[in-house]
């Protein structure tokens, strides 16, 4: 009597990690794309830290570990945003510290 219910429960339980990974993959792809865009906007102010973190995130994703990849991509996004902010700030601030200005 309980057998079909047991099978259904077991099936759901086994599919949870896969569902979770699918969600992480989508989240990773979204964040990864955002990092690439922000990193590019930094132009000549790009950080090696961002590039390295992004590469490591991609490797984790390629190996199927999307949760780790997402975590790394989110860190890369923070670096990329900081480099972009550095670009904006420095383009305004540099004349104040230059000899001759």
Partner 1 sequence: MRIAKVILVAVGATLTAPLALAGDTPEEDRKETVEYFQQKFPDVPLEEFVNGQYALDEDRRKQWESMSDFPPFEFAVAEGQEMFETPFANGKTYASCFENDGIGVRQNYPYFDTEKKEVITLELAINRCREANGEEPLKWKKGPIASISAYMASTSAGKKFDIEVPNDDALAAYQAGKEFYYTRRGQLNFSCASCHVQNPGNWIRADLLSPMLGQVANFPVHRAKWGEMGTLHRRFTGCNRNVRAVPLEAQGEEYRNLEYFMTYLNNGLPVVGPATRP
* Residues in 50-89 that interact with partner 1 by CB under 8 A: 51, 79, 82-83, 86
Residue 37 interacts with partner 1 (CB under 8 A): yes or no: no
Q: Of the candidates 21, 36, 49, 67, which one interacts with partner 1 according to CB under 8 A? A: 49
Please, what is the minimum distance in Å from the beta carbon of residue 39 to partner 1?
Answer: 9
Q: Which of 21, 44, 88, 40 lies closest to 54 in space, CA to CA?
A: 40
Integer Cα distance of 87 and 31 in angstroms = 21
Closest by CA position to 82, among listed 56, 55, 32, 46: 46
Is 94 one of the binding residues for partner 1 (CB under 8 A)? yes
């Amino acid at each position: 009597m309980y057998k079909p219910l047991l099978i259904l429960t077991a099936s759901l339980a086994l599919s949870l990690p896969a569902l979770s990974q699918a969600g992480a993959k989508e989240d990773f792809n979204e964040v990864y794309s955002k990092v690439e865009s922000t990193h590019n906007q930094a132009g000549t102010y790009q950080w090696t830290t961002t590039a390295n973190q992004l590469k490591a995130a991609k490797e984790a994703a390629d190996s199927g570990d999307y949760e780790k990849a997402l975590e790394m991509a989110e860190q890369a996004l923070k670096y990329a945003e900081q480099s972009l902010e550095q670009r904006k700030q420095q383009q305004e601030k540099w004349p104040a510290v230059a000899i001759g200005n």
